[in-house]
Amino acid sequence: MDIVIAQRYGTGTQAAVYQAAYMIPTLLIAVFSGGAIIGAYIPIFIRLGGPLNQPEASEFLRSSAGLLLTVLTPLTAALIWSAPLLAETIASGFSPVERNEVTNTLRLMLPMLVPHAVSYVYYSSLVSAGRVGVANLLPLLIPASGLATYPWWGEHNGAELIAVGYSLGAILLALATGWRLRRTGLRVIPTRPSSSPDWKNFLHGYLTTGLALAALSVLFLISQIVAAGLSARDMAVFSFGTKLILLALAFFTTIVNSVALPHFSSLIINAGRAKTWLRMRYFLLLAFVLASLGTAMWVFLSDWIVSVIYASGEFSNADSDLVASVQRAFVLQIPFYVIGIFCWRMFNALEEWKPLLFATLPALVVNAAVATPLGSEYQATGIAAGYTLSIAVWALILLITLRRKLTALPGQTIQPGKLPIH
């Protein structure tokens, strides 16, 4: 999508409007869908026998979907009503006309939150049942629907048409994942939430993880808002410079969600905490070294990568230089993010949620403190560097906390259904 937008609009108004409007749905999906659902849902669904189509798991699935419909429908309506205020907040450096376009785009894109959340209950169930391939292919319906609007893009409507495509794509995703899950033998129609302890544990984990993800998403949102406060062009440059890295990290996170999280859940149940830490520490060291090597190569090739992917049509060589500079500062976070996300998912497997929030808050403070001064001095590149520093703080705190959690009770073996919640 970014490649097509760059070639069609360069760093002009429609590119900036799209990037600005996409901030809020991305933040909300991170908080109320996606990772929040996956982390809280999969360990409980597996423990209830979801891969074996147990009735308790089916009831848990339907109650979780019903909860999300109940909570997110009125929230989405309120956000659509407040779209002008949101546009003023996230695009303060835009002209009044540009902010009006951001408002209209937000109103068209925000409805995707509700079907997206329901689809990720179904997605998590498919992953737990071993249907990893189809589960990870179906989300492509959203960007595909956005790209399908390309033939009708004009000088002043591209962002709005993409928003319509995304919302329709989210509905298609919910229908497709539900249909595929139904073929496994599970019932998928959402129902009213039950009063079972498992549902309450999911709600607790979902809300706590959502808060932690909100804080983590606000890290990036602060950076985007500071960039948008400079100018619409700086906003577009920052977004293009960070998007490839975010795409790579999203791909990596999907693999972790699909493979590592179910494995971590089984490992904790069968091996206990002490043995799990012995395996984790060598694994994390290897992951950090490999990620550092890949990061060094990306830094070296940044100019070439940007020139190959973006530099054509309305995207000039001057734009390419600015975007490559942002990309080099932003890509340095990758080794730390890799460690952080593995630690994050291990906490999900432990069904321990508070450390996720406690690790994110100091990183949020660091980013809030450095984003504006670095942005004033180095523009979008400085903002990207400040975000990278905050991610390093976040990962370090998670690693230290996980080590303490896993070594606090040496030799403990946790029986299925007896997973402690602290």
The answer to whether residue 309 is domain-embedded is yes
Assess if residue 415 is contained within a domain: no
Looking at residue 195, its pLDDT comes to 63
Enumerate residue ranges in the chain where pLDDT < 50: 409-422
Asked, for residue 414, whether it belongs to a domain, the answer is no
In a domain, 396, yes or no: yes
153-181 CB burial, b ≥16 within 10 A, e <16 = beeebbbbbbbbbbbbbbbbbbbbbbebb
Amino acid found at 65: A
Under the phi-then-psi rule, with left for phi > 0, alpha for psi from -120 to 50, and beta for the rest, what region is 417?
A: left
> What pLDDT is recorded for position 416?
38
Closest alpha carbon to 359 in 399, 417, 386: 399
305-343, pLDDT tens digit by residue? 888 888 776 777 778 888 899 999 999 999 999 999 888
397: tokens are 């705190």
**317 is written with which tokens?**
């060589």
CA dist., res. 385 & res. 375, Å (int): 9
- Report angle CA 196, 202, 203 to the nearest 5 degrees: 90
Cα–Cα distance for residue pair 331/350, rounded to 1 Å: 30
Encoding tokens for residue 48? Answer: 């209830």
Q: What is the pLDDT of residues 34-77, one digit of tens each?
A: 777 887 788 888 888 877 878 888 888 888 888 889 889 999 99
Instruction: Determine the structural domain holding residue 101 and report its residue range.
Output: 2-407
Is 266 among the domain residues?
yes
Helix and strand element counts for the chain (H, E): 17, 0
Does the CA dihedral 54-58-63-64 come out positive or negative? positive
Buried b (16+ CB within 10 A) or exposed e, 387-409: bbbbbbbbbbbbbebbeebbeee
pLDDT of amino acid 274: 73
Residue 416 lies in a domain: no
Is 420 a domain residue? Answer: no
- pTM score: 0.67
Tell me the two tokens of residue 70: 């109940």
Within a domain: residue 153? yes
Task: Look at the chain and report how many structural domains it folds into.
Answer: 1
* Dist. CA 367–CA 218, nearest whole Å: 9
- The string of DSSP codes covering 67-88 is HHHHHHHHHHHHHHHTHHHHHH
